Amino acid sequence: MSLRKFLIFHPILMLSAFIGTADGYYEYTMAECVYSTSDYSDMVYLVSLSFNKVVELQYNSSLGKFVGFTEDGVKQAENFNKNQALLQQLKADGDTSCRSNAQVLDSSVRDKAVKPKVKLSSVKQAEGRHPAVLMCSAYEFYPKKIKVSWLRDGKLMTSEVTSTMEMADGDWYYQIHSELEYTPKSGEKISCVVEHASSSQPIVKDWNPSMPESERNKIAIGSSGLVLGIIIAAAGLIYYKKKSSGRILVPNE
């Protein structure tokens, strides 16, 4: 499965109708246009009919017919599927109204979309039986909808992942954080994949296990300490030599 299939930005255009009665029964009809690709090649038109919060049947443009989900819904779907004029009308609705409305929606959103800043860092290194933890963070993006996923040697990771919800920064932008627990293996490739409306392609950050961020920090701190120690030692030596050169030796009688 390609990365394209993991897209979270699935715009949904919805039109609903509600009919209630005095005795508490109600019917609910909802039309949806669901898609993920920019050329709308995967556009699916769905028309769902519900009774008392239960979806009884649904028209699916990818199937070109109604499908029943309850005993009564199955019977209704069979009857609707015999009506070729209705099926043709629904197909035409999906091809015209869905596509035209999607173009308007996409143009209004993508013009204002802000690409996320993505950072991949090490939170915890593996110690004994305790796994290592990586964090992938996306900052300052708009609109809110986003997906952060993990790939390990090209395979999607699910059970080892913990993610926050999209959090508002208070300035129209959002942020999100995702953690991956894993046991490091030699030669593996771990990637954080961020998918957002602002980018036509997934943003991929590959982790380099040969030099984790925490190790780089330790080396930097160690190097700074070593340099500081050399400077202090050199200063002490110079001071000692100056003091020694100023002394007057008096011979003992």
Report the chain's C-alpha Rg in angstroms.
Answer: 31
Ranges for all domains in the chain classified under CATH 2.60.40.10: 117-206
Task: Give the CATH number of domain 117-206; options: 2.60.40.10, 3.40.50.620, 3.40.50.740, 2.40.100.10.
Answer: 2.60.40.10
Q: pTM value?
A: 0.47
- Whether 72 contacts 66, CB under 8 Å: no
In the predicted model, what is the mean pLDDT of residues 172-188? 90
Tell me the CA distances in angstroms from 190 to 79, 93, 171, one per residue in order. Answer: 51, 43, 32
Least confident of 12-21, 37-46, 132-141, 230-239: 12-21
d(CA 112, CA 105): 11
Judged against a pLDDT cut of 50, whether residue 7 lies above it is answered with no
- Kindly report, as residue ranges, where domains of CATH 3.10.320.10 are found in the chain: 3-110
Q: In what helix (H) or strand (E) does residue 13 lie, and over which residues does it extend?
A: strand 12-20
Q: How confident is the model at residue 9 (pLDDT cuts 50, 70, 90)?
A: very low
CATH class of 3-110: alpha beta
In this prediction, residue 136 carries a pLDDT of 95
pLDDT for position 83:
95
pLDDT reported for residue 233: 56
Average pLDDT estimate for 11-26:
53
Which residues are CB-contacts of 202 (< 8 A; sequence separation ≥ 6)?
A: 3, 6, 193, 194, 195
Structure tokens at 13: 């255009």
